[in-house]
A and B are shown apart, each in its own frame.
Chain A
Amino acid sequence: NAGVTQTPKFRVLKTGQSMTLLCAQDMNHEYMYWYRQDPGMGLRLIHYSVGEGTTAKGEVPDGYNVSRLKKQNFLLGLESAAPSQTSVYFCASSPGTGGWIHEQYFGPGTRLTVT
């Protein structure tokens, strides 16, 4: 079991460029999440999904879009990158059985720099 994987691990973008971050999990989890982590800010939820074909906004959704076309994948898109989106991005998944989250399992992170 690979658990939760993220692609890419590092990326440098110029302002205005677009990119997609891919998260994949092989644990058959229902719930998936995208967070960003900035110094002194802890983890902030960007978007999440409670099942294939569903998405919902988190705490800081502006400037990001997501899709969950397959249960095992959760994509995070930046349409027009801004320096304020420089951050470390973590994907997580959770069984989500019966409405309970259970614990979340995190991917290794993607370090994104926007210049």
Chain B
Amino acid sequence: ELKVEQNPLFLSMQEGKNYTIYCNYSTTSDRLYWYRQDPGKSLESLFVLLSNGAVKQEGRLMASLDTKARLSTLHITAAVHDLSATYFCAVDKKGGSEKLVFGKGTKLTVNP
């Protein structure tokens, strides 16, 4: 059974600081998705990582995938208040699957 663990689940950081959110998964996969959810809103797709070593960046967020370590990271550079949200990773089983398995989410709060 594919399991996805995110850590930390809660993260409070100051503006201007850097931090990394981790997403570990239990079985082989080569497709990983990051989503953002603002309070009271829906989930919005951030990144789709499709192969080992994939790196995607948008603004202050950078996501990477290491399929050998079964690990994806979401790195935040010089955080700003607008990045406050909950971030979910989701994994697709290798070979394709009908379902994604989501982590429980990391609630990020960026303080002035």
B39-53 CB contact bits vs A (8 Å, 1 = yes)? 001111100100000
A25-58 CB contact bits vs B (8 Å, 1 = yes)? 0000001010000001111010010100000101
The number of residues on chain B lying at the interface, defined by a beta carbon within 8 Å of a beta carbon of chain A, is 21
The answer to whether A58 and B42 have CB atoms under 8 Å apart is no
Looking at the complex, which one of B43, B92, B97, B98 makes contact with A106 (CB distance below 8 Å)? B43
Name A4's closest neighbour in chain B (CB-CB): B42
B8-44 CB contact bits vs A (8 Å, 1 = yes)? 0000000000000000000000010101000001111
Task: Give chain B residues whose Cβ lies under 8 Å from the Cβ of A99.
Answer: 96-98
The answer to whether B45 and A105 have CB atoms under 8 Å apart is yes
Task: Give chain A residues whose Cβ lies under 8 Å from the Cβ of B88.
Answer: 42-43
The answer to whether B48 and A107 have CB atoms under 8 Å apart is no
The answer to whether B92 and A101 have CB atoms under 8 Å apart is yes
A88-110 CB contact bits vs B (8 Å, 1 = yes)? 00101000101111111111110
Task: Give chain A residues whose Cβ lies under 8 Å from the Cβ of B97.
Answer: 99, 101
**Bound complex: CA A58 to CA B99 (Å):** 9
A42 and B104 in contact (CB under 8 A), knowing A90-B42, A101-B92, A105-B45? Answer: yes
The answer to whether A103 and B33 have CB atoms under 8 Å apart is yes
Task: Give chain A residues whose Cβ lies under 8 Å from the Cβ of B99.
Answer: 33, 45, 48, 58, 101
B84-112 CB contact bits vs A (8 Å, 1 = yes)? 00001010100011111011110000000
The answer to whether A41 and B104 have CB atoms under 8 Å apart is yes
**Bound complex: CA A102 to CA B99 (Å):** 10
Min CB–CB distance A24 → chain B (angstroms): 15
Chain B residues close to A by CB (< 8 Å)? 31, 33, 35, 41-45, 48, 88, 90, 92, 96-100, 102-105
Chain A residues close to B by CB (< 8 Å)? 31, 33, 40-43, 45, 48, 50, 56, 58, 90, 92, 96, 98-109
Other 15 A-B pairs with CB < 8 A, given A92-B43, A99-B96, A101-B96: A41-B104, A42-B88, A43-B102, A48-B99, A98-B96, A99-B98, A100-B31, A100-B96, A101-B99, A101-B100, A103-B33, A104-B45, A104-B90, A105-B45, A108-B41
